[in-house]
Amino acid sequence: MTLTQTPQQRDHARTIYEKSQPGRRAFVAPALDVPHREGLLPDRLRRAEPAKLPEIAEPEIVRHYNRLSKRNFDLDTGFYPLGSCTMKHNPKLHERVAALPGNARLHPLQHPQRAQGALRLMWELQRALGEIAGLPHVSLQPSAGSHGELAGVLLTRAYHERRGERRTKVLTPDTAHGTNPATVTMAGFEVVKVGTNDRGGVDVEDLRAKAGDDVACLMLTNPNTLGLFDPAIEEIAGIVHDAGATLYYDGANLNAVMGRTRPGDMGFDIVHFNLHKTFTQPHGGGGPGAGPIAVSDRIEPFLPRPQVVRREWGNGTGPSFELDHDRPQSIGRLRGFQGNYGVFVRSYAYILSLGSDGLQEASETAVLNANYLMARLAETAGEHLPAAYDRTCMHEFVLTGGPMKKALGIRTLDLAKRLLDFGFHPPTVYFPLLVDEALLIEPTETETRETLDAFADVVGEILDEAAEDPEAARNAPYTTPVRRLDEAGAAKRPVIRQPL
Amino acid sequence: MAEASYPPDLSYHEEHDWARIDGDTATFGITWYAQDQLGEVVFFDPPTVGKSVRKGDPYAEVESVKAVSDVISPLSGEIVEVNEALSSAPEAINDDPYGSGWMVKVRLADPSELESLMDAHGYQESLG
Amino acid sequence: MSRYTSATDADRRAMLAAIGAASIDELFADVPEGVRLNRPLDLPAGKPEQEVYGYLRDLAALNVSAEDEISFLGAGMYDHYVPALVEAIITRSEFLTPYTPYQPEISQGGLQVMFEYQTAISELTGLPVSNASVYEGPSALAAAGYLAKLHHPDRTRFLVSRGVHPHSRETLATTSVGWGTRIEEIPLAGGATDAQALADALADDVSAVFLQYPNFLGTVEDLEALVPAAKAAGALVIVQCDPLPLGILRPPGELGVDVAVGEGQSLGNRLDFGGPSFGFFAAQDAYLRRMPGRIAGETTDVDGRRGFVLTLQTREQHIRREKATHNICTAQALNALAGVIYLSWLGREGIVELGELLLQRTAYARDALSAIEGVELLHDQPVVREFAVTLDADVDAVIERCAAQGVNPGYALGRDYPEYPNGLLVAITEQRGKPDIDRLARTLQSAVREVVHA
């Protein structure tokens, strides 16, 4: 077991403020080496009382955060089959290259002539992502998948406006990740849901009925959040394009298809990538990530500004790379500077390491691992946790805990909590909403067969245990640093900072 | 409230809301089924007195930890009183959905709308 | 070649047998022929780790970083000293590699970090409520605009000071295009927001007023003078703040500001050519349920142990979907961790000492540069760590000559502020000591002279 009841992990939680003592400190200020002047800042602009930051020396700061870290489960320690999250290994080379001073200490406003390494890296990454997506024009600016989605819908808005069309709706499937409808509202459109058929694909007749000339865009992911590839994608693209709308690809599930098919070839106009999913940027407990976008020719004029471009001089000197601000039809900026460059370095290192052959192998192995795990779980747990759809899956698959709830009296939530005691991070639970008591499982390609077998076996064990004693799962976990928490209390009476 | 309960003196809307009629005013709330589906209620923001409500339309939201639900008005009218106590004690909606968990009192605009509501038996049947 | 995968031919055979498929191709049968790529990706083949390292090392060597020159570049990101304990802690697997804490029982480390971070931001800004981070500064300002739009759906004007960072102003414009709002700019007068122009522009259709503190030209805006008029008109006051100077400046919360946002890079994060860093977002209590992003809250477990959870999730996209307060999902948790470690390292006294040091050195630099012939201060407002001058010479040519001498004198203002065609924004951090500032003055003086006489 990874997490056991050890004294460090079961320590009563004390915050760094509670470990502070007046007068303690870590920082030693450089000496004042200029003449001291009075009156630089009028008193009325000055803070009367210092902010109550901690007062603590370096050894205790280090101990505090080290001990806290041990209360986390993490990917470097164990299996993390979160569906639609692509928790694949974070290669250790990446921290080394991101930390090179030429990258880490480079100011974003450095003159482009003196940042050619960075701009060239961004340009090459753009090219690689464009090839993977099958759409040539890439912006690296968005800072996360949601940010890329917002960019995509704003690009769509600009595209239609340019054509003199007024379109007010964006279609999303009922299986869509919550960021999709949230993005639609932020971009000023109305969300219209499209149904899913009983094979887990888009209900094409429902789409046809709703794809009117007031529809700006259809947002999809393929494979979808059920882990299923929609074989009707060409027909879907045709319906959307015939209606004059754009087709947007949520790249959360790109890990299933690299080298096999490309969203651009499926008919998508705009794609976002999650560099913190498919391209190994470490999740960091909730970021940083990056959500670059790739678009078709007709959308290209509207891309955010600035764009990284390559200029040939034709006079014997090599090409140079620049930030092009001169983009009159651009939607503008979505953030400061150029984007999360540190994430680009890591993702580009990954693409260089894997290359054409490795990226395809990654997707194929991801799909192999998912189908294998689905088959093994059908053996160990299929009676009570059947697959929601009787189809070959892609990189992830959904099980339904409905039968488990009826027969054994434990819910998907209880299974998830009991898995914690066995040193596994649970899969995604209760998403997508379409499936009752959903369990969305994505193993990724970097897991061994033995790990997948172990997981399938443990799920079987937990169900066997529940048949004898459902209370065991209902009251789980037992061995984690804390047990089930009162989330209702935290919502009713929010305490979101330490009183000081 | 642990056991399902659907008092016979109330009228029920298919979106899981009840009405208790008292002359030309009515009290509204959500049914046992609704609060059971929601789980522990953590937040209810009462609407303002004077607001009009329309049969079948949402007039407020009720939140649990992991879900938000529209509260649907079973009848049309104008809000004359709101249960302010729910701001600090939203759990009354779970513990006593038909009593201290009441949400608003409304002066009815069209008492004939009552005919389209279900009785306790009919509502329970509709839950299947 | 195995690249982070373990599946051997033997593994593949066994797994396909268990699946009941004859080949990997069969697993892709649902992909219609018409969309199959049927050729390798047009990318180079994968390379061994040492070659990847060599290639990227050579690219990085083409960049002139703050390691290679004495840099006075600021304008939103600053070359502060990041203490070694930050990277020692944030590169720990247990902080670097987990996902967002959806299973709180095994995420107490990350959740408690968020709680401690939220507390620190609340302290710095003087506002009771903080979230656990957003992406960075300019998009944080836009997120605050979205909060104002949700709060005041019937009000349609945003008044934005010209002293707000140009990237923030542009991000707000781009992001708000579908909100039914329109942006009006409030001019500067003498380097600070023109209070009269603001008062004249205010009316009951103004949703929010946006200011920056200190502003882009370094001025410590007089919030006490600006805020009341906005509040009287019923508008929200949203201020983008530079977090380090908040150690010595009156906090926005005390001055009636509704929402304070800002760029967190100065707090323990590297320059990284502009990201990743983090944005902070803090507000008055009244806006708690309209806040974007993750919020960690304190609670107890079934055995009475103190613990932390993501709370008020009904605001967020995964529950509220189209009615969410924002679409943000992945934020900048690791960078916010770096931020709270850094603030703990600076400490209650340290942030004040650092602020005073910046104040004194900036004053010294300001005096030294304005004494140069051909260099004038753009304004004489109070500043903390950044100030603006204007040159009697082509600023780009001056910058080139300084760069050749190993000094980066600052940011040319002309593109963002055409009214200052030869403006230069100069930033001072604790890494720029008196000798560096003296060298800047000498270098700038000779560069200006050379360009004027060229």
CB within 8 Å: B68 and C313: no
Domain containing residue B33: 11-127
User: Edge-to-edge, what's the strand order for the sheet holding B68-72?
Assistant: B41-44, B58-64, B68-72
CB within 8 Å: B65 and C313: yes
β-strand pairing of C279-283 with C296-300: unpaired
Q: How far is CA A226 from CA A13, A418, C192, C405, in A?
A: 38, 24, 54, 59
- Using the Cβ of C320 and the Cβ atoms of chain B, whether some distance falls under 8 Å is answered with yes
CA distance B100 to chain A (A): 18
CB within 8 Å: C322 and A182: yes
Residue A2 has pLDDT above 90, yes or no: no
Residues 338..377 of C with a Cβ closer than 8 Å to A: which? 340-341, 343-354, 356-357, 359-361, 363-364
| Chains linked to B by 3 or more Cβ pairs within 8 Å | A, C
Mutate: best of C314, C315, C322, C323, partner B, most B CBs <10 A: C314
In this structure, are residues A477 and C105 in contact, taking their beta carbons and an 8 Å threshold? yes
Q: What are phi and psi of A46, to 5 degrees?
A: -90, 145
DSSP string, A148-215: HHHHHHHHHHHHHHHTT----EEEEETT--THHHHHHHHTT-EEEEE-B-TTSSB-HHHHHHH--TTE
Considering CB atoms only, which of B39, B42, B66 is closest to A492?
A: B42
**Number of domains comprising chain B:** 1
In this structure, are residues C159 and C193 in contact, taking their beta carbons and an 8 Å threshold? no
Residue A399 has pLDDT above 90, yes or no: yes
Residues 147..166 of C with a Cβ closer than 8 Å to A: which? 165
β partners of residue C66: none
Q: Domain segments of chain A: what residues?
A: 93-351
Q: Which residues of B touch C (CB under 8 A)?
A: 43, 63, 65-68
Residue C1 has pLDDT above 90, yes or no: no
CB within 8 Å: C41 and A359: yes
Q: Domain segments of chain C: what residues?
A: 70-81+349-453, 85-341
pLDDT digits (tens, 9 = 90+) for C333-354: 999 999 999 999 999 999 999 9
CB within 8 Å: B40 and A488: yes
| Chains linked to A by 3 or more Cβ pairs within 8 Å | B, C
The span from the CA of C91 to the CA of C190, in Å, is: 45
Residues 177..236 of A with a Cβ closer than 8 Å to C: which? 177-179, 181-189, 191, 228-231, 233-234
Tell me the count of A-C CB pairs closer than 8 A. 718
Tokens standing for residue C450: 């050379």
In this structure, are residues C79 and C69 in contact, taking their beta carbons and an 8 Å threshold? no
Residue A3 has pLDDT above 50, yes or no: no
- Using the Cβ of C296 and the Cβ atoms of chain A, whether some distance falls under 8 Å is answered with yes
CA distance A88 to chain C (A): 9
The helix or strand, by DSSP H or E, that contains position C129, with its residue range, turns out to be: strand C129-130
The span from the CA of B99 to the CA of B86, in Å, is: 12
- Using the Cβ of A354 and the Cβ atoms of chain C, whether some distance falls under 8 Å is answered with yes
pLDDT digits (tens, 9 = 90+) for C234-287: 999 999 999 999 999 999 999 999 999 999 999 999 999 999 999 999 999 999
Tokens standing for residue B47: 């609407």
Is this prediction's pTM over 0.90?
A: yes
β-strand pairing of C182-186 with C157-161: parallel
Confidence of residue A7 (pLDDT cuts 50, 70, 90): low
pLDDT digits (tens, 9 = 90+) for C229-241: 999 999 999 999 9
Chain C residues with CB-CB distance to B63 below 8 A:
314
The helix or strand, by DSSP H or E, that contains position C308, with its residue range, turns out to be: strand C306-310
In this structure, are residues A84 and A225 in contact, taking their beta carbons and an 8 Å threshold? yes
The third-level CATH classification (topology) of the domain covering C85-341 is: Aspartate Aminotransferase; domain 2 (3.40.640)
CA distance B38 to chain A (A): 12
Lowest mean pLDDT among A350-354, C13-17, C311-315: C311-315
Buried b (16+ CB within 10 A) or exposed e, A132-155: bbbbebbbbbbbbbbbbbbbbbbb
- Using the Cβ of B45 and the Cβ atoms of chain A, whether some distance falls under 8 Å is answered with no
pLDDT digits (tens, 9 = 90+) for A437-471: 999 999 999 999 999 999 999 999 999 999 999 99
User: Any idea what DSSP says for residue A72?
Assistant: B
**The domain defined by C70-81+349-453 carries CATH number 3.40.50.450:** no
Length of chain B: 128
Is B61 a member of any domain? yes
Please compute the mean of the pLDDT values over residues C434-448 and round it to a whole number: 98
Mutate: best of B64, B65, B91, partner A, most A CBs <10 A: B65
The span from the CA of A454 to the CA of B120, in Å, is: 51
Q: What is the CATH number of the domain that holds B53?
A: 2.40.50.100
Residue A9 has pLDDT above 80, yes or no: no
For residue C367, count CB atoms less than 10 angstroms from its CB and return exposed for 0-12, middle for 13-18, buried for 19 or more: middle
Please compute the mean of the pLDDT values over residues C349-375 and round it to a whole number: 98
CB within 8 Å: C97 and A283: yes
Chain centre distance of CA A89: 14
pLDDT at residue A1, as a whole number: 35
pLDDT at residue C70, as a whole number: 98
Chain A residues with CB-CB distance to C296 below 8 A:
496
CA distance B21 to chain C (A): 33
Confidence of residue A128 (pLDDT cuts 50, 70, 90): very high
Residue of B nearest to C319 (CA): B67
pLDDT at residue A6, as a whole number: 57
The span from the CA of C287 to the CA of C9, in Å, is: 57
Chain B residues with CB-CB distance to A430 below 8 A:
66
Is B98 a member of any domain? yes
In this structure, are residues A247 and A272 in contact, taking their beta carbons and an 8 Å threshold? no
pLDDT digits (tens, 9 = 90+) for C115-138: 999 999 999 999 999 999 999 999
Chain B residues with CB-CB distance to C313 below 8 A:
65-66
β-strand pairing of A293-295 with A137-139: antiparallel
CB within 8 Å: A487 and B90: no
Query: Longest Cα pair distance anywhere in chain B, in angstroms?
Result: 38
Prior bond of A386 cis (ω within 30°): no
The helix or strand, by DSSP H or E, that contains position C171, with its residue range, turns out to be: helix C166-175
Chain A residues with CB-CB distance to C330 below 8 A:
144-146, 274, 276, 283, 286-289
Tell me the count of A-B CB pairs closer than 8 A. 15
CB within 8 Å: C334 and A284: yes
pLDDT at residue A318, as a whole number: 85
CB within 8 Å: A488 and B42: yes
Q: Which pairs count as long-range contacts for C17-25, CB under 8 Å and 24+ apart, including other chains?
A: C18/A372, C18/A375, C18/A376, C19/A368, C19/A371, C19/A372, C19/A374, C19/A375, C20/A375, C21/A371, C21/A392, C24/A364, C24/A367, C24/A368
The span from the CA of C148 to the CA of C209, in Å, is: 10
Assigned architecture for domain A93-351: 3-Layer(aba) Sandwich (3.40)
pLDDT at residue A152, as a whole number: 97
Is B5 a member of any domain? no
CA distance C200 to chain A (A): 25
DSSP string, C346-400: HHHHHHHHHHHHHHHHHHHHHHHHHTSTTEEES----BSSEEEEEESS-HHHHHH
Please compute the mean of the pLDDT values over residues A66-92 and round it to a whole number: 97
CB within 8 Å: A334 and C171: yes
Residue of A nearest to C253 (CA): A47
CA distance A430 to chain B (A): 10
pLDDT at residue A8, as a whole number: 55
Residues 99..128 of B with a Cβ closer than 8 Å to A: which? none
- Using the Cβ of C22 and the Cβ atoms of chain A, whether some distance falls under 8 Å is answered with no
Confidence of residue B7 (pLDDT cuts 50, 70, 90): very high
Chain C residues with CB-CB distance to B66 below 8 A:
313-314, 319
| Chains linked to C by 3 or more Cβ pairs within 8 Å | A, B
CB within 8 Å: A488 and B64: yes
Is B4 a member of any domain? no
- Using the Cβ of B40 and the Cβ atoms of chain A, whether some distance falls under 8 Å is answered with yes
pLDDT digits (tens, 9 = 90+) for C157-189: 999 999 999 999 999 999 999 999 999 999 999
